[in-house]
Amino acid sequence: MRQWVAWAAAAAMACAAGCGPKSEGTEASGGAASGGGGKKLTVGFSQIGAESGWRTAETQSIREEAAKRGVELKFSDAQQKQENQIKAIRSFLAQKVDAIILAPVVETGWDAVLREAKEAGVPVVLVDRGVKVQDDSLYATLIASDFVAEGRMAGEWLAEQTKNRPEAEIGIAELQGTPGAAPAIDRKKGFEQGIAKNPKLKIVLSQSGDFTRTKGKEAMEAFLKSGKKFGAVFAHNDDMALGAIQAIEEAGLKPGKDLLIVSIDGVRDAFQALIDGKLNLTVECNPLLGPMAFDAVEAALAGKKLPKWTVVQDRMFDREAARKEFASRKY
Ligand code: AHR
């Protein structure tokens, strides 16, 4: 049952058009899913932005699934800003959506707006990244990969690959994701656990590349100029690794050979880089979350109890595995 008690407050706080997030309005849809009483379901989707190939694939998956189910989707691109996501959520509430799908840019700072959604009786399904809130009943469920496990897989792989190397220390240059984002925090943590298996490995350089190719390249250029010695690169996502590969090549070095490079996501461009021998490993992080997200929306609206976190399973891909999978790769 929807609770409209907070409607007036939510409407008063609603953002006027154009005051922040890039809203693309309502999207065309087929005509099946219903919010009850035969009414077509309306769902607001607050997306972080379009910083990476992974993000684009996630957006497409949600859009396609909405269209397939006949859901009216209100899409808002926050351009990497939490304030824009908060405005978008308030706008969705003012527009009386049935449910909200949120991919939160950072972990903290969501309590107030999620409470507004709860008071309005609008379930919020989190996709891809988690939040830290005092009361976890403020969201219906989280559908996401285990970022700590992803980082650990990358770290353990590197530890194994370097265990017989003669050097006393192998420096690692780390390209971090967006500060405060769950995948940046958790992948770092997991990676550090993984490399602990080989005491020779040490992170000697670390900088944020904001999950983008451009900033990944810039950060790598700075690393290469720093004079610090490093033999491996860990990028929190593929796009930053691909930017770094460009910088390494421009510096006259051979990525994948002079420097071992590991990253996370498993996008097609990274598969190509694996096949070309320029990237050594990518840990998949599946962005095709549309079907699971709308299953969760429908279950929440039907009053079903959902697990607090549905873990999306991930795999690792080296050159051989990439070769086998490349033709059928969906993103
Ligand atoms: O939250 C998932 C991460 O966000 C992906 O690894 C990255 O590419 C994206 O920007």
Ligand 1 atom closest to 48 (CA): 10
Atom of ligand 1 at shortest range from CA of 211:
10
What are the residues whose beta carbons fall under 8 Å from the beta carbon of 320, sequence distance 6 or more?
none
Q: End-to-end CA distance of the chain: give it in Å, rounded.
A: 38
Joined together, the tokens standing for residue 93 give: 């509430």
Q: Which residue has the tokens 């694996």?
A: 274
Ligand 1 centre from 67 Cα, in Å? 24
Q: Are 234 and 263 in contact (CB under 8 A)?
A: yes
pLDDT at 21: 53
Q: How far is the CA of 208 from the centre of ligand 1 (A)?
A: 13
Ligand 1, from 237, 263, 264: best to mutate by most atoms within 8 Å of Cβ? 237
For the CA of 128, the nearest atom of ligand 1: 1
Q: Return the structure tokens found at 101.
A: 């799908």
Atom 4 of ligand 1, residue of closest alpha carbon:
55
pTM of the model as a whole: 0.90
CA of 207 to the centre of ligand 1 (A): 16
Query: Which of 131, 178, 265, 283 to probe ligand 1 with, by most ligand atoms within 8 A of CB?
Result: 265
SS3 207: strand
Alpha carbon of 250 to ligand 1 centroid (Å): 26
Residue 20's SS3 state is coil
CA of 80 to the centre of ligand 1 (A): 12
For 183-211, b/e burial (b = at least 16 CB within 10 A) is bbbbbbebbbebbeebebbebbbebbbbb
- Compute the half-sphere exposure of residue 10: CA atoms within 13 Å on the CB side of its CA: 27
Cα–ligand 1 centroid distance for 177 (angstroms):
8
Three-state secondary structure call for residue 128: coil
In ligand 1, the atom with minimum distance to the C-alpha of 178 is: 10
Q: What is the pLDDT of residue 39?
A: 79
Residue 23 backbone phi and psi in degrees, to 5: -95, 130
Between the alpha carbon of residue 85 and those of residues 198, 265, 276, the distances in Å are: 41, 23, 38
Q: How many CB atoms lie within 10 A of CB 38?
A: 6
Q: Are 163 and 155 in contact (CB under 8 A)?
A: no
Output the pLDDT for position 171: 98
Tokens standing for residue 213: 């190719």
**The pLDDT value given to residue 17:** 32
pLDDT tens, position by position, 273-317? 999 999 999 999 999 999 999 999 999 999 999 999 999 999 999
Which of 211, 214, 331 best tests ligand 1's pocket when mutated (most atoms within 8 Å of CB)? 211
In terms of DSSP H, where are the helices of the chain? Answer: 7-13, 53-69, 82-94, 111-119, 147-162, 182-195, 213-225, 238-250, 268-275, 290-301, 319-325
- Where do the domains of the chain lie, and which CATH numbers do they carry? 2-139 (3.40.50.2300), 147-286+318-328 (3.40.50.2300)
User: What whole-number distance in Å separates Cα of residue 327 and Cα of residue 324?
Assistant: 8
Report the distance separating Cα 64 and Cα 75, nearest Å.
Answer: 12
Q: Do residues 232 and 203 lie in contact, with contact meaning Cβ atoms separated by under 8 Å? A: no
Helix 82-94 / helix 111-119 crossing angle, nearest 10 deg: 10
Pocket of ligand 1 (CB under 6 A): 51-52, 54-55, 128-129, 183, 211, 237, 239, 264-265, 285
* CB distance 200 to 169 below 8 Å: yes
Strands 72-77 and 141-145: unpaired
DSSP 3-state of 109: coil
Q: What is the pLDDT along the chain (331 residues), one digit of tens a residue?
A: 333 222 223 323 333 333 345 555 555 444 446 655 567 999 999 999 999 999 999 999 999 999 999 999 999 999 999 999 999 999 999 999 999 999 999 999 999 999 999 999 999 999 999 999 999 999 999 999 999 999 999 999 999 999 999 999 999 999 999 999 999 999 999 999 999 999 999 999 999 999 999 999 999 999 999 999 999 999 999 999 999 999 999 999 999 999 999 999 999 999 999 999 999 999 999 999 999 999 999 999 999 999 999 999 999 999 999 999 999 999 9
Q: What are the φ/ψ torsions at residue 209 (nearest 5 degrees)?
A: -115, 15
How close is the Cα of 118 to the center of ligand 1, in Å?
27
Rounded to whole angstroms, how far apart are CA atoms 15 and 121?
19
Ligand 1 atom nearest the C-alpha of 103 is 1
